[in-house]
Structure 1
Amino acid sequence: MNVLFAIIWKELKDALRDRRTLMTALFSSLLGVPLLLLIFSTVLSQVESQEEKRVVLAVGMQYAPQLENFILRQGYQIKTAPVDYEAKSRSKEIDQPVLIVPPDFENKLGSGIKVNLEIAYDTSNRTAEFGVRPLRRLLDSYTQELTLMGLTMRGISAELLQLVEVKEHYLQKPEERKTSVTEMLPMMVLMAIVIGGMYSAIDTTAGERERGSLEPLMMNPVSGWQLAVGKWSAVALVGMGVAILTIASFFPSQWMIRNDTLRAEFQFSLKDACGFLVVLLPLAASVAAMQIAVALDCKSYKEAQVRNQIVSMFIPFVSLIPIMFPGREPAWFQWIPVLAQNQMMNQVLKGESLNTLAVTIALLVCVGITGVSLAYIAQKMRKVVMN
């Protein structure tokens, strides 16, 4: 037992001395979530600012006095768009879509002929694109008013066209809304765990082999299992530490949210943090074992890094699987690593309680992956050095 603890302590010190491992672990765990929430809040603020901006940029508004009157009555201001609005939209000098009114607008409207209004914006100008929806909503209201006025002048009740009124009834719980803008957070946490422990796993295998320090370690009277468990324990502790730091970063991240709506909806509590830890710590341990197993056969640090990066690509691909099942999620999701954890973290963010069976299944799968990986590492450890 003393030998095992000595190996763990030695590997853990080596991992913490490696600047690349330490910096990657700290940056991935402490900066990932705050930056993501900052981006979310900035984009949401841009959308809301366009919703609240009561200014319409227009070309040819003099051809539509009725439309101009309607827009002004809604509390909007009308500004004439610059002549070179297309170029300025591409260069993002203007941050709104431009309403284009044709010269024959009023004549066609008076004759009962269908007339087209155009909304011009550059698709690369995201801020201007955010303003398209409120402008369309304003124009739809104008069209509806014109229709009602036309029916009234002909003595037809507008209610005849509205015998059925459809309303939406949201079944979603109020606390579930916060996941609509933070659904990428679970994947960010999973990526932080994988990347945070990857360099430690590579350094303790291919790195030591490349430096020639693995052979002297083998000269000690230790078994393959002791080496495997010792190295895995150190890497697993690094991965778990990254998981804990990442979850802890959720709390100060809430202060960085610049949007009031998102700040009110995203309330990450201590209970949520405990739920995340229950889900993520077993996964971090199993990921550490897999990373060591993948890097063990590699003869160089770069080769091990490439192989582990390929394994890391598994996470975003697995996270996309639910898109193929837009209805109820199949029961077998609970048996797929990463996918099960992603599903349970989303449940925590929605304010739901974790399913005991789902947590147990995920734990058993992680234990199974860890056991198989450690058996492979213990078997290959001495063979690798001899080759």
Structure 2
Amino acid sequence: MKATLAILRKELRDALRDRRTLLVALISSLLGVPLMLLIFSVVLTQVESQEEKRTVMVKGIEHARGLENYIQRQGYQIKTAPEDYAAKSQSKELDQPVLLIPDNFDEKLATGEKGTLEIAFDTSNRQAEFGVRPLRRLLDGYSQEVASLGLSMRGVSIELLQRIEVRERHLKKPEERKATITTMLPMMVLMAIVLGGMYAAIDTTAGERERGSLEPLMMNPVTGWQLTIGKWGAVAIVGMGVVVLTIFSFFPSQWLIHNETLRAEFQFNFKDAMGFLLVLLPLAASVAAIQIAISLDCKSYKEAQVRNQMVTMFIPFVSLVPILFPGREPAWFQWVPVLSQNQMMNQVLKGETLSTASVGIAFLVCALMSLASLAYISQKMRRVVMH
């Protein structure tokens, strides 16, 4: 036991001395979530500002007097688009889409023909693109009004076309929160876990092998399991430290949210933090064991880094699997690492209570992965050094 603790202290001290490990751990844990929430807040504010903007940029409004009257009745102000609207939209000077009205628009409507309107915007101009949806909604309202007036003039009651009224009833649990934008946060947390402990795992195996410091360590009277537990313990502590820092960075991150919609969605409290830790700490420990096992066979730091980065790519792909199963998620999700943690974190963000069975299954899977990886490491440790 003393030998294992000595190795643990030595590896942990080396990990904390490594600037690369500390830098990645701190950046991924302390800056990742605040930066993402800040970006979400800015984007949502931009979208809502376009929704609230009561102006319409038009070219050729003199050819659609009925439309002009409708827009003004809805409380919108009409602005004439500049002649070089295309160039200004491409250069981001124009932050609204432009409504283009042809010369014969009113004439076509008067003769019962279909009139055509165009909404012009540059697809790379995000601000202008955000304004397309409210403009289309406004034009849809005008289109319905024109159709209703046309039917009324022909003696057809509008109510005959609207015999059925459809309403939406939103069903949800009383304690359930709305979490749409924040569903991307679990993937960020999972990436932070993998990146946070990766460099510590590489340094304690391929790094020491490259520096030639692993062989002297093997000359001590310690077993393969003692070496394995000591090294794994240090990397796991770093990984779990990243988890704790990441989770508790959620609290100051809420100060950066200036958008009321996002603030209403993201209500993270101490109970939620405990739920996240319960879900993520076992995963961080198992990921540490897997990273050490992957790095052990590598003869250089660079080779181990490449292999671990390939494993890191696994997380985004797994996080996209639920898209293939719209509706109720299959029961086998809770048996898949990363996928089950992603599922449970989303439940926490929605304010739902985690089931004991789901947490237990996730813990069991992580424990089995850790044991398998540690058994491989203990058997491989001395043989790798000798070759």
TM-score, normalisation: structure 1: 0.98
Distance 1:98 1:58 in 2: 6
Q: What does residue range 235-250 of structure 1 map to in structure 2 within 5 Å?
A: 235-250=235-250
Bigger Cα displacement from structure 2, 173-182 vs 216-225: 173-182
Query: Equivalent residue for 1:181?
Result: 181
Q: What does residue range 209-248 of structure 1 map to in structure 2 within 5 Å?
A: 209-248=209-248
Q: Which aligned segments of 4 or more residues in structure 1 are displaced greater than 4 angstroms?
A: 173-177
Contact preservation (8 Å) 1:56, 1:77: yes
Distance 1:130 1:145 in 2: 25
TM-score, normalisation: structure 2: 0.98
Query: Equivalent residue for 2:378?
Result: 378
Query: Equivalent residue for 2:146?
Result: 146
Aligned to 2:179, the other structure's residue is in SS state: helix
Letter in 1 for 2:273: A
Query: Equivalent residue for 1:302?
Result: 302
Q: Deviations over 1:13-38 (max 9, x none)?
A: 00000000001000000000001111
Contact preservation (8 Å) 1:341, 1:362: yes
Letter in 1 for 2:146: L
Which consecutive residues of structure 2, in runs of 5 or more, have no partner in the other structure?
none
Distance 1:21 1:175 in 2: 40
Q: Deviations over 1:209-265 (max 9, x none)?
A: 011110111111000000000000000000000000000000000000121111122
Distance 1:217 1:335 in 2: 38
Bigger Cα displacement from structure 2, 200-209 vs 80-89: 80-89
Which consecutive residues of structure 1, in runs of 5 or more, have no partner in the other structure?
none
Query: Equivalent residue for 1:124?
Result: 124
Distance 2:176 2:93 in 1: 38
Distance 2:385 2:320 in 1: 39
Shift of 1:288: 0.1
Contact preservation (8 Å) 1:97, 1:129: yes
Query: Equivalent residue for 1:156?
Result: 156
Q: What does residue range 23-172 of structure 1 map to in structure 2 within 5 Å?
A: 23-172=23-172
Aligned to 2:208, the other structure's residue is in SS state: helix
Query: Equivalent residue for 2:321?
Result: 321
Contact preservation (8 Å) 1:243, 1:281: yes
Alpha carbons of structure 1 residues 347 and 383: separation in structure 2 relative to 1, 3 Å: same
Shift of 1:177: 5.0
Contact preservation (8 Å) 1:12, 1:235: yes
Matched, 1:337 2:332: no
Letter in 2 for 1:205: T
Shift of 1:174: 6.8
Distance 1:203 1:144 in 2: 67
Q: Deviations over 1:280-305 (max 9, x none)?
A: 00000000000000000100000000
Shift of 1:173: 4.4
Contact preservation (8 Å) 1:333, 1:339: yes
Query: Equivalent residue for 1:264?
Result: 264
Distance 2:382 2:217 in 1: 10
Bigger Cα displacement from structure 2, 288-297 vs 135-144: 135-144
> What is the aligned-residue identity percentage?
74
Alpha carbons of structure 1 residues 66 and 130: separation in structure 2 relative to 1, 3 Å: same
Query: Equivalent residue for 1:203?
Result: 203
Contact preservation (8 Å) 1:178, 1:262: no
Distance 2:201 2:364 in 1: 23
Aligned to 2:79, the other structure's residue is in SS state: strand
Contact preservation (8 Å) 2:64, 2:105: yes
Aligned-pair Cα RMSD in Å: 1.0
Contact preservation (8 Å) 1:175, 1:265: no
